[in-house]
Structure 1
Amino acid sequence: MSSVPGLPVETDPPEHVGVLVLGAGLAGCAALLAAAEAGRYAVLLEKTGEIGGSTVKSAGLSAFAGTDEQAEQGIADSVELLREDLLEVGRRRSDPALVELYCEHQLATYRWLKEHGVRYGEIHAASGQSVPRSHPTDTTRMLELLLKAAGGLGARIMFDAPAARLLCDGSRVTGARLAGGREVRADAVVLATGGFSMNAELLETFAPQMEHALRQGGTGNQGDGLKMAMALGAGVRDTPYIKGTYGHFHVEHPDEDGTGILAVYKGAIAVNREGRRFVDESKNYKEIGDAALAQPGVTTWQVFDARTMALANDEVPIYEFAGRERAGMLLKADTIAGLETEIGLPEGSLQRTVGEYNTATAQGQDDPFGRAHLSGGVGRPVPIDRPPFYAHPSGTVVLATYCGLTVDTRMRVTDWWGKPIEGLYAAGEITGGFHGVGYMTGTSIGKSGVFGRLAGRNAAGEESEIQW
Structure 2
Amino acid sequence: MNQPVIQRAERMDAAVHVPVAIVGAGACGLTAALMLHDAGVECVLLERDATPSGSTALSSGFIPAAGTRVQQALGIEDSPQRFAADIQAKANGTAAPHLVTAYTQAIGPAVDALQARHGLDFVLLDDFLYPGHSTHRMHAVPEKTGAALMARLQQAATAADVSIVTRALVRELWLNPRDEVIGIGYERPDGALEYLACDALILACNGFGGNASMVRELLPEMRDATYAGHSGNDGSAIAWGRAIGARLADLGGYQGHGSWAVPQGALITWALMMEGAVQINAPGRRFHDETQGYSEAAVQVLAQPGGVAWNVFDETLLTFARGFPDFREAEAAGAVKRCADEPALAGLIGCDASALRATLAAVSPGAAAPDGRVFTRALQAPFYAVKVTGALFHTQGGLDIDAHCRVLREDASPFNNLLAAGGAARGVSGHAVWGYLSGNGLLSAIAGGFIAAQTAKTILET
State the alpha-carbon separation in 1 of the partners of residues 234 and 322 from structure 2: 33
The equivalent of 1:176 in structure 2 is 184
Partner in structure 1 of residue 373 of structure 2: 371
> Which residue type is aligned with residue 332 of structure 1?
R
Show structure 1 runs of 5+ residues with no match.
1-12, 373-379
Equivalent residues in 2 for 1:16-35 (5 A)?
A: 16-35=17-36
Any residues of structure 2 matched to 1:45-444 within 5 Å, and which?
45-71=46-72, 73-115=74-116, 116-123=118-125, 124-137=128-141, 138-151=145-158, 155-171=162-178, 172-179=180-187, 180-251=192-263, 253=264, 256=265, 258-262=266-270, 263-315=272-324, 317=326, 320=327, 322-355=328-361, 357-358=362-363, 361-362=364-365, 364-372=366-374, 381-384=376-379, 386-436=380-430, 437=432, 438-444=435-441
The structure where strand makes up a greater share of residues is 2
Name which of structure 1's ranges 167-176 and 119-128 shifts more when overlaid on structure 2. 119-128
Mark the CA change 1:463 to 1:107 in structure 2 (over 3 Å): closer, same or farther.
closer
What is the letter of the counterpart of residue 340 of structure 2? D
The code of the aligned residue for 2:129 comes to A
Change beyond 3 A, Cα 1:382–1:341: same
CA displacement at 1:59 relative to structure 2: 0.6
> Number of paired residues?
434
Structure 2 CA distance, aligned partners of 1:67 and 1:463?
A: 29
User: Deviations 1:275-316 (Å, cap 9, x if unpaired)?
Assistant: 111101110111211211222212111111112223224346
CA-based RMSD:
2.2
CA distance in 1, matches of 2:331, 2:294: 22
The question of whether the paired residues in 2 share the 8 Å contact of 1:41 and 1:154 is answered with no
State how far apart, in whole Å, the 2-side matches of 1:111 and 1:69 are.
Answer: 8
Q: Distance in 2 between matches of 1:290 and 1:73?
A: 37
In the aligned structure 1, how far is the partner of 2:333 from the partner of 2:121?
27
Is the 8 Å Cα contact of residues 173 and 189 (structure 1) preserved in structure 2? Answer: yes
Check whether the contact 2:406–2:419 (CA below 8 A) recurs between aligned residues.
Answer: yes
Match of 1:453 among 445, 450, 455: 450
Bigger drift between 143-152 and 187-196 goes to: 143-152
AA aligned to 1:444 is G
Aligned residue type for 1:187: D
Aligned mates of 2:269, 2:160 — CA distance in 1: 39
Question: Secondary structure of 1:264's partner?
Answer: helix
Distance 1:120-1:37 versus aligned 2 partners, 3 A rule: closer
Structure 1 residues 286 and 142: alpha-carbon distance in aligned structure 2, compared to 1, 3 A threshold: closer
- Stretch moving more, 211-220 or 116-125: 116-125
Provide, for residues 134-174 of structure 1, a one-character-per-residue CA deviation record: whole Å limited to 9, x for no partner: 22225444444444544555531111111112111121111
SS of structure 2 residue aligned to 1:410: coil
Residue segments in structure 2 that go unaligned for 5+ positions in a row: 1-13
Q: Note if contact 2:80-2:101 (Cα within 8 Å) is conserved in structure 1.
A: no
User: Do the aligned residues in 2 keep the contact of 1:20 with 1:188 (CA within 8 Å)?
Assistant: yes
Alignment CA distance shift 1:74-1:335 (3 Å): farther
1:127 Cα offset (Å): 2.3
Residues 358-379 of structure 1: per-residue CA shift (max 9 Å, x gap) = 3xx34x343211013xxxxxxx
Contact between 1:193 and 1:223, CA under 8 Å: does it hold in 2? no
Residue type at the aligned position of 1:133: R
Q: Secondary structure at the match of 2:394?
A: coil
SS at match of 1:399: strand
* Deviation per residue, 1:179-198 (Å, 9 max, x gap): 34332111011001121211
- Distance in 1, matches of 2:47 and 2:162, equals 14
- My pick for the range that moved more, 212-221 or 404-413, is 212-221
Runs of 4+ in 1 over 6 A off after TM superposition: none
Partner of 1:375: none
Cα separation, partners in 2 of 1:311 and 1:69, compared to 1, 3 Å = farther
Contact persistence 1:237–1:432 (CA under 8 A): yes
Deviation at 1:73, TM superposition (A): 4.8
Contact 2:268 2:330 in 1 (8 A): no
Of 104-113 and 124-133, the range deviating more from structure 2: 124-133
TM-score (norm 2): 0.88
